[in-house]
Amino acid sequence: MITVVTGVILVLALIFSMLGLGGAMLYVPVLHWFGYNFKTVAIPTGLLLNGITVLSAAVVYLRARMVDIRGSVPLVISSFAGAPIGAYLTQFLPTRTLILLFAIAMTYAGTRMLVSSARPDKEQMLLWKTRVLMMGAGGFGIGMIAGLLGIGGGFLFVPLMLAMGYPTKQAAATSAFVVIFSSFSGFVGHLAEGHFDWPLMIATSIAVIVGAQVGAMIMKEKMKARWIKQMFAVVLLGVAVKLFWKILI
């Protein structure tokens, strides 16, 4: 079964690295669908793979000078601080509640992205001080959500940066850089609780490194901003529907 899971994860890493996402929003439910425990295996493994995916993709984006390193600092610090708190809170919530929160978050982000895909990128970013405040408050909240649900938070970072005026490709590339920190911070929080499956983690980690490199190169050279937003929305809404269906039946 690990071989099949690894193949699916490789394809997902390729797709999500093009969007500046780590893919945990799909890694987690996919692992759960294959029979792995949602809280003790799927969430921590998803966070690890999320971090490795964006780390691999971010190397490509950094070389291409697509990442706003200075502007991302408030997000990095605040999300890094919030992720372990979310990971700690996981133990107090039932699995059904976590899945429901996961689905609601993806529905919101997917709908917002689909609506914005028809609009051109903003031509001017908000003032630096305003961006710092938005990133500080938003980053901490997103970090908590990321640690709680076993995701990197990129699906929320990207809309936040688009709202501040970032071009789509720069938002996706910068999100990949930011998500590295929140993913590994949240993963360590779960690891401290003894949540891990080493054979699964090793096999899927190799898969996401390969997939993320290919996906990042495709995004850098071929993708248009509108395509990125539409792909982002379709993936999120599709998984949200699947999770809602799972809860209802």
Among residues of the chain, what percentage have pLDDT more than 90?
8
pLDDT range class, residue 152, cuts 50, 70, 90: low
Res. 101 pLDDT band, cuts 50 70 90: confident
The number of domains in the chain is: 1
pLDDT greater than 80 at residue 161:
yes
Q: Which residues form the domain of 147?
A: 2-248
> In the predicted model, is pLDDT for residue 203 greater than 90?
yes
pLDDT at 168 over 90: no
Please provide the DSSP assignment of 146-192 as one string.
Answer: HHHHT--SHHHHHHHHHHTT--HHHHHHHHHHHHHHHHHHHHHHHHT
Q: What is the pLDDT of residue 225?
A: 65
User: Which of 32-41, 112-121, 126-135 comes out lowest in average pLDDT?
Assistant: 112-121
What average pLDDT does this structure show over 37-53? Answer: 84
* pTM of the predicted structure, to 2 decimals: 0.72
Spell out the residues 6+ positions from residue 25 whose beta carbon is closer than 8 angstroms to its own.
102, 106, 151, 155, 235, 236, 239
pLDDT digits (tens, 9 = 90+) for 210-232: 998 888 888 777 767 677 778 77
pLDDT at position 142 is 85
